[in-house]
Amino acid sequence: MSPTQSPTRMALLRATKWFPWIVLLCGGLVLSLNLGVRQSLGLFIPNMLNDTGWSAATFGLAFAIQNLMWGVSAPIAGALADRFGTTRTLIGGAAIYAAGLYMMGTSSSPGELHLTAGFLIGTGVGSTSFPVILAAISRVFPPHKRSFALGLASAGGSVGQFVMAPTAQMLNGSLGYVTTLMILAAIAMLMVPAAFALTGKADGHSPTATPDLGPQGLMAAFHEARKHRGFMLLNAGFFVCGFHVAVVTTHLPTFTALCGLPSSVAAEGLALIGLFNIFGTLTAGWAGGRFSKKFGLSFIYGMRAVVILIFIFAPQTSETILLFSATLGALWLSTVPLTSGLIAQVFGPRYMATLFGIVMLSHQIGAFFGAWMGGIVYDMTGNFDAVWWVSVALGVFAALVHMPIDDRELRSTAKA
């Protein structure tokens, strides 16, 4: 294909009614690969603990750095996607992600582990995650279809977790974590072909989408958001979401081993989280298009607190952990279509990649503390009890802070 032909063919594709669904499919695939690999990394910690002799806090800090860099890179990647296009941003992020995975297994010191599993993987995940993908999808779907589309794309990440957790465990058991991480690096690079369908910048719109009349500059959009009380409350709530997710994905394998259960239980638990999250995310996306998104978020966080509280007092058996995983899975990423949809609803989709990236930073600061605190508490006490109780309290807090959000749109939008 000649250079002069490509733009014409892409323009014709963008003009078709199928283009939004192609963007949705490819966006879901990227999230599936991104989160499927990322959510499986905790499975390698027990073996790496035994082989290296490093402390749980060392691995906790590595994953804490990873989560923090995920958050730091998310708004930067969102701004790059808004300015230079989604495809270029995703290709660069996928390369960094794969490099971190490849080198994680060969790390010979805690410093190398923090660089590879922490800095590189975190940057790669953040550059290929929700803010960039969901913003691209938001721009090609009209408001009345947007929430459900975001739910479908978010469910793609759950499919990846459902498939990758048992796959990674099987490969780890037969090939070891060094070879398995190299294979995962190759799998992560499959995001690159899908990235070519996610074209466009903040000023690009599909004919099927509703034009956005928001601020004409990135800094103007940022200043508009930071003055909005609801935006601050969304940041507070998503901090809690990050804490919950990091505690479970990072430390559930170690917690399972502490209970004297086989490693397969942790892999099955993570897979169940992914499976039930598909239904939870799709349901949240559907409900977000019909009911109040802020009250939906309050319900989800409140139910998380209830589920974790019951888990604290339940007997720690394989059945209990699997039931806990399935129940929590239904409440897992269901916050994403509601939170991102609420941002698009209030501020418009034009600079959603950047604004949701900022909220994602708050999410990952929470994840930083969840991953690190879990390792520290385990080293100090030999259990995770304090972490579970903090998770309950934070769930109640998040349920309350979403209620007063003013979810009215800031401006009228022209009708397509």
pLDDT digits (tens, 9 = 90+) for 383-410: 888 999 999 999 999 999 999 988 787 7
Instruction: Count Cβ atoms within 10 A of the Cβ of residue 264 and give its class: 0-12 exposed, 13-18 middle, 19 or more buried.
Output: middle
Q: Which range has the worst mean pLDDT, 31-45, 254-268, 346-360? A: 346-360
Q: Which range has the worst mean pLDDT, 211-215, 216-220, 245-249, 308-312? A: 211-215
Domain assignment present for 1: no
Domain assignment present for 6: no
- Asked if residue 21 lies in contact with residue 141, where contact means CB atoms within 8 angstroms, the answer is no
For residue 255, pLDDT over 90 is answered with no
What is the pLDDT, as a whole number, of residue 171? 92
Q: 198: Cβ–Cβ under 8 A, 6 or more apart, which residues?
A: 23, 26, 27, 30, 86, 87, 90, 132, 133, 136
For residue 119, pLDDT over 90 is answered with yes
- Asked if residue 117 lies in contact with residue 63, where contact means CB atoms within 8 angstroms, the answer is yes
What is the pLDDT, as a whole number, of residue 358? 84
Q: Exposure pattern of 286-317 as b/e (b: 16+ CB <10 Å)?
A: ebbbeebbbbbbbbbbbbbbebbbebeeeeee
Q: For residues 104 and 299, what is the distance between their CA atoms, to the nearest angstrom?
A: 38
Total of domains in the chain: 1
Residue 13 has a CB neighbour count (10 Å cut-off) of 13
pLDDT digits (tens, 9 = 90+) for 8-54: 555 545 556 777 888 888 888 998 899 889 878 888 888 888 888 88
Domain assignment present for 81: yes
Radius of gyration of the chain (CA): 20
Domain assignment present for 47: yes
For residue 118, pLDDT over 80 is answered with yes
What is the pLDDT, as a whole number, of residue 11? 52
Domain assignment present for 413: no
What is the pLDDT, as a whole number, of residue 253? 84
Instruction: Record the pTM.
Output: 0.72
Q: For residues 382 and 378, what is the distance between their CA atoms, to the nearest angstrom?
A: 5
Domain assignment present for 89: yes
Task: Tell how far CA 273 is from the center of its chain.
Answer: 13
What is the pLDDT, as a whole number, of residue 197? 80
Phi, psi values for residue 221, rounded to 5° = -65, -40
Residue with tokens 């959009």: 221
C-alpha dihedral sign at 48, 51, 54, 56 = positive
Residues of the chain with pLDDT > 70, as a percent, come to: 89
Task: Tell how far CA 48 is from the center of its chain.
Answer: 24
Task: Tell how far CA 310 is from the center of its chain.
Answer: 25
**Domain of 397?**
18-211+218-401
- Asked if residue 148 lies in contact with residue 285, where contact means CB atoms within 8 angstroms, the answer is yes
Q: Which range has the worst mean pLDDT, 191-195, 274-278, 317-321? A: 274-278
Domain assignment present for 75: yes
What is the pLDDT, as a whole number, of residue 2? 41
Give the CATH number for residue 190. Answer: 1.20.1250.20
Domain assignment present for 331: yes
